[in-house]
Structure 1
Amino acid sequence: MTAPLTPASSRPCVFCRIIRGTAHAEILYEDRETVAFLDNTAVTVGHTLVIPRRHAEDIWEIGPVEAAAVMTTAHHIAALLRRRLDPPGLTLFQANRALGWQDVFHLHLHVVPRYENDRLSRPWRATFADRAVLGRTRALLLGET
């Protein structure tokens, strides 16, 4: 007989466990506000996650000071990756909520070294948006409608 599965929302946050030292991670850097560690589902060599120490599920739950700390650490990691791995490119991405492709609900920023023919592919091809739509969107966002 197998035990019932525990819903993801009721399981302890794996990133919080990494911060507390109760889950293993290959930590590359940490300071008072952030931790950076190799992604255990790395898409390329050196793929690193940067997280805030305080649990915040997504960008809407983090303040500007913590967001800046995450980006500062990402900048530090990007320099480390460049110095040690010299990748020909680098991609940063951060996903929010299930529809935004987030799969661990503790804010995290991916710092991904890029190599020729790696497994990471661009999710869309840039095409010009309709200018009228852009104008209406701008007006809506700025409260001009």
Structure 2
Amino acid sequence: MASECVFCDIVAGRLHAEILFEDERTVAFLDNTAVMEGHTLVIPRAHAGDIWEISEDDAAAVMRTVHRMAAVLDDVLTPDGLTLFQANRPAGWQDVFHLHVHLVPREDSDRLNRPWYVDRADPEALARTRRRILGEGSADALR
């Protein structure tokens, strides 16, 4: 557990949260800054600052809990949709530095907006980026 981590405090029971589910690796609770009813966060019990710090096993456990909570939110709240959001580092919009996944139930009429506009990428730029990612041994982790 990291000192001065609000999510570690929730895991340890030092800070109250409206917990919906917990198992040996994860905790799911209602976000106290919810943008929609049922806005839920899923975190690993073990402190991991972001996607680059979490173990593969804990990352898989987080996604299992996300999947489970998505089904519960769909059954109980019957939203029109669901947005998953996971941010890393300040430039990626992370503001609590303990990995977490947001599950935000959505309604057709809600006022939440996409954070970017969709536009076609240049195919040549995509090909260059692919070569860059897969070249020079950097893709060993994909094997």
Aligned residue in 1 for 2:80: 88
Amino acid at match of 2:13: G
- Structure 2's unaligned 5+ residue stretches are 137-143
| 1:25-36 equivalence runs, <5 A | 25-36=17-28
The CA RMSD over aligned residues, in Å, is 1.3
Any conservation in 2 of the 1:46–1:81 contact (CA below 8 Å)? yes
Aligned residue in 1 for 2:140: none
Any conservation in 2 of the 1:39–1:48 contact (CA below 8 Å)? yes
Count residues in correspondence: 135
1:126 aligns with 2:90: no
1:38 aligns with 2:30: yes
Aligned residue in 2 for 1:140: 132
Any conservation in 2 of the 1:49–1:109 contact (CA below 8 Å)? yes
Between the two proteins, what is the percent identity of the paired residues?
64
Distance 1:95 1:120 in 2: 17
Aligned residue in 1 for 2:92: 100
Q: Aligned to 1:36, what secondary structure does the other structure show? A: strand
Aligned residue in 2 for 1:6: none
Please point out which of 18, 22, 29 is paired with 2:14.
22
Amino acid at match of 1:120: L
Q: Aligned to 2:75, what secondary structure does the other structure show? A: helix
- State which drifts further: 29-38 or 121-130: 121-130
Q: TM-score, normalised by structure 1?
A: 0.90
Change (3 A) 1:72 1:105: same
Aligned residue in 1 for 2:41: 49
